[in-house]
Structure 1
Amino acid sequence: MKILIIEDEIPAAKRLEKLISECRPDAQILSVIDTVEDALDWFRSEEEPDLVISDIQLADGISFQIYEELNLECPIIFSTAYDQYAIKAFELNCIDYLLKPYSKDALQKSFHKLDKFSPIQQNSLKELDLTSLVKQFSNGNLYKQRFLISKADALIPISIEEIAYIYTEDKAVMIKTIEDKSFFINYSLDDLENQLDPAKFFRLNRQFITSIRAISKISQYFNGKLKVELKPVQDGKVIVSRAKTPLFKSWLEK
């Protein structure tokens, strides 16, 4: 079996390669591609693989754009870190999906589903319409809906609606919930700024991203800056720069 991986996170791609080697030792990884543009170039110059395992959100766009533009016959397994409500939209348009972080067993089940499809059924995938999915995700449904937090031996799902703000502390990135609980997450604020719904969250400065519900008071500060008081209360001053002040005010009024 010849497999193409489309994944822009290097650790995730390496882990997937390892899981594939364990689940299907005879599989050949043709390439690991990390952008929509490179994937389009690859498909235009190479024979189709037996299977594509594809992330959804890539560095330069949404991978659905690849399958909308090209008339591919190969089956696809999507892998994604995003919520079930979005995944349901394309559940019938691919062999299977893997919800990150996924296990070896989950990947094995995806391979079993693939095995149940006859070549004719697999070829019929080219008739599936992904246009509506591109539109759905382009309209904002790709924003992160929850975090899966590791704490001790437990995994704790934290909904976006539970988050008051996200901040840095001693080079670590922390979530502060409405209930005043703090959790470490393995993301940078730059990454989160792109993954969170901008209608609900605003990047105040280098240290803080806040939800609208966490803002308790805003006051004028020096040189056109703003001082923001958050709830739950945060130690130290939270300052919005003069350059960001107009954007912040506009965001508050939406």
Structure 2
Amino acid sequence: MKYLIIEDESLAAERLQEKIQELKPDWNCLAIYGTLKELQENLAQAEADIAFVDIHLGDGSSFKALESLDIKMPLIFTTAYDQYAIRAFKLNSIDYLLKPIHIDDLKKAIQKFESQSLDNPQNLDWSQILKELKPSYKERFLVAHGEKLKTVNCADIAYFHASGKHCFLVDAEGHEYLVDQNLKDLLEQLNPEQFFQINRQYIIHLEYLDELLSYSKSRLKVIMKPALPEEGIVSAERSARFKAWLQGETKK
């Protein structure tokens, strides 16, 4: 049996492949793709029997790419946030795995794939699936404030930033709170019309963007209020999407 993995985090892809090989040592991984571009260029014509597809890739949603592809294989989706469910997956005989992926869940998904085949997988209506998926974005976060707990509304969050192994929320007044999630998991919970991940260190809120400056090598520099602890440089590969986002396009 031949399969593909679509996953933008190399460590997550390696772990998934290891689990699959543990369960199915005779299965062959044809390739691991990490971007929407690679998915669009390779998935439709790939000679694979099944693909494991991360819902959110670094350059956008895999659902958007699937709308324009003629898919001839069953797909098992992976996601770190269970707002995407899932009713649509089950209605279309598609399975999903919630990250972190446990081997028992993976085993059940593979058994489901082996016990039933999709009659016409190429005829799945991805537009309808997208309509069925109605994500409800997070409205507030519960954070520690000294010995007390308090809620911070997303409207009052200026940005999130990663520092070492920790991630912090900074509110409109510049107060900083530790959050127990990484930036990728946070991004899946935030409204993409309001929040954008400019690089590996920051997710910013549009309402608190004060200035946008040209920077070297086709990059951009953002000035936030309150100020970022370090320079906020939009990486060259994200600059075009960031400009589109500022104009109302909402790919994560």
Q: Do the aligned residues in 2 keep the contact of 1:174 with 1:183 (CA within 8 Å)?
A: yes
* Greater C-alpha radius of gyration: 1
Deviations 1:58-82 (A, max 9, x none): 2222212343222222111111112
Q: Kindly indicate whether the alpha-carbon contact (under 8 Å) linking 1:143 and 1:196 is maintained by their aligned counterparts in 2.
A: yes
**Alignment CA distance shift 1:77-1:94 (3 Å):** farther
Residue type at the aligned position of 1:113: K
Match of 1:128 in 2: 124
Q: Check if 1:196 corresponds to 2:190.
A: yes
**Identity among equivalent pairs (%):** 37
- Does residue 38 (structure 1) correspond to residue 34 (structure 2)? The answer is no
Change (3 A) 1:202 1:127: closer
Using CA pairs under 8 Å that are at least 6 residues apart, name the structure with larger relative contact order, 1 or 2: 2
Q: Which runs of 5+ in 1 are unaligned?
A: 148-158, 213-226, 229-237, 241-254
* Structure 1 residue aligned with 2:102: 103
5 Å-filtered alignment, 1:1-254, equals 1-43=1-43, 45-47=45-47, 49-84=48-83, 86-117=85-116, 121-135=117-131, 141=135, 143=137, 171=164, 172-174=166-168, 182-187=178-183, 192=186, 196-197=190-191, 238-239=226-227
* Count of residues paired in the alignment: 206
What's the CA shift string for 1:146-189, capped at 9, x where partnerless?
Answer: 99xxxxxxxxxxx997998575586431369xxx985433337x
One-letter amino acid of the counterpart of residue 81, structure 2: Y
* C-alpha displacement of 1:193: 5.8
Question: Paired residue for 2:219?
Answer: none
- Asked if the contact 1:62/1:134 (under 8 Å) is kept, the reply is no
Take 1:198 and 1:68, find their aligned partners in 2: how far apart are those partners?
Answer: 19
User: d(CA) in 2 for partners of 1:42 and 1:169?
Assistant: 33
Deviation at 1:142, TM superposition (A): 7.7
Do the aligned partners of 1:54 and 1:77 also contact (CA within 8 Å) in 2?
A: yes
Structure 1 residues 142 and 86, CA, compared in 2 at 3 Å: closer, same or farther?
Answer: farther
- Using a 3 Å threshold, how does the CA distance of structure 1 residues 65 and 25 change in structure 2: closer, same or farther? same
Q: Secondary structure at the match of 2:118?
A: helix
Determine if contact 1:56/1:78 at 8 Å carries over to the other structure: yes
Separation in structure 1 between the aligned mates of residue 162 and residue 46 of structure 2, nearest angstrom: 47
2:183 is paired with a residue whose SS is coil
Rounded to whole Å, the distance in 2 between the matches of 1:109 and 1:145 is: 33
> Is contact 1:79-1:99 (8 Å) kept?
yes
How far off is 1:11 after superposition? 1.3
CA distance 1:163–1:185, change in 2 (3 Å): farther
Instruction: Tell me if structure 1 keeps the 8 A contact 2:8–2:57.
Output: yes
Shift of 1:109: 0.6
TM normalised by structure 2 equals: 0.60
Q: Which amino acid aligns with 2:10?
A: I
The alignment yields a C-alpha RMSD, in angstroms, of: 4.8
**Local SS of the residue matching 2:107:** helix
Indicate conservation of the 8 Å contact 2:4/2:30, yes or no. Answer: yes
Stretches of structure 2 that go unaligned for 5 or more consecutive residues are: 142-150, 171-175, 208-223, 229-252
Q: Decide whether the 8 Å contact of 1:82 with 1:143 is kept in 2.
A: no
Q: Give the equivalent residue in structure 2 for 1:219.
A: none
Cα drift, residue 103 of structure 1? 0.3
- Taking structure 1 as the reference length, what is the TM-score of the superposition? 0.60
Greater helix fraction, Structure 1 or Structure 2: 1
